[in-house]
Every structure is written in C-alpha cells, then in structure tokens.
Amino acid sequence: MTILLIVLSLWSVVHIPSATGSDWVIKTFSEVGATCHNMDRHCQSFLPLDDCKNKAEELGFKFIYFQSILDRPLGERCHIYSSCDSTRIPVLGGTTYEFIGNVYHI
C-alpha cells in the first residue's frame, strides 16, 4: 500500500489507515465498562475482530462490541450495532469500536 503524506504545517496530523484501509477507533463512554445497548444490536456472531469489523462495514454499521477469548472464555464474540445512542453495562468485558471511515487528517 502506498501512503502519501502531505504536511501543511507543523500542527498537521496525518492519519495512516489500518492494513485494511479502514479506520476504527476504540469508543469510550462516560460510564466505565459501558457499550451500546442491546436494543440497537443488529446481530452477533463468533467472528475474529477483523472479520467483525469487515462485516459491520459491509452492513453499513459503524459500532461493534468485540469480546476476545480473554473476555469470553467460550470464544470470541462479535456484536454489531446500528447505533450507540443508548448504553448498557455488559456482564462480560469487551471493547467497543467505532468506524470513522477511510479518512486522512491533514
């Protein structure tokens, strides 16, 4: 992948996309341990993190809650949300990600 960097000033920030070309960030909430509410969950499945992100992008959704094997001993779990306007505290830990698109901050 070729990355073109353009620096306009000393204060410019260049964002380099992930290997897939998609930008996902860890979403934080004011309440520690919160994630998107179940009423906004579109689907859930046993997918690895990269596949979970790709599936959400394919569906046009921008929020996922991912539980690794460390969070969920029975296997990785992918939760895809249509929105994240309401929150909940899940029983098992995990990480909420937000898709911010394929952007470059210059």
10-residue mean pLDDT profile of the chain (106 residues): values are: 31 39 89 96 97 97 97 95 96 96 62
Residue 13 lies in a domain: no
Q: Which residue has the tokens 């969950």?
A: 41
What token pair was written down for 93? 């830990």
Answer whether residue 74 is part of any domain.
Answer: yes
Say how many domains are in the chain: 1
Q: In this predicted structure, what is the pLDDT of residue 65?
A: 98
Instruction: Report in angstroms the alpha-carbon separations of 97 from 23, 50, 59, 75.
Output: 10, 11, 15, 19
User: What pLDDT, on the 0 to 100 scale, is given for residue 75?
Assistant: 93
Q: Give domain status of residue 42, yes or no.
A: yes
Domain that holds residue 74: 23-101
- What's the pLDDT at 2? 36
Q: What is the pLDDT of residue 101?
A: 85
- How many other C-beta atoms are found inside a 10 Å radius of the C-beta of residue 48? 12
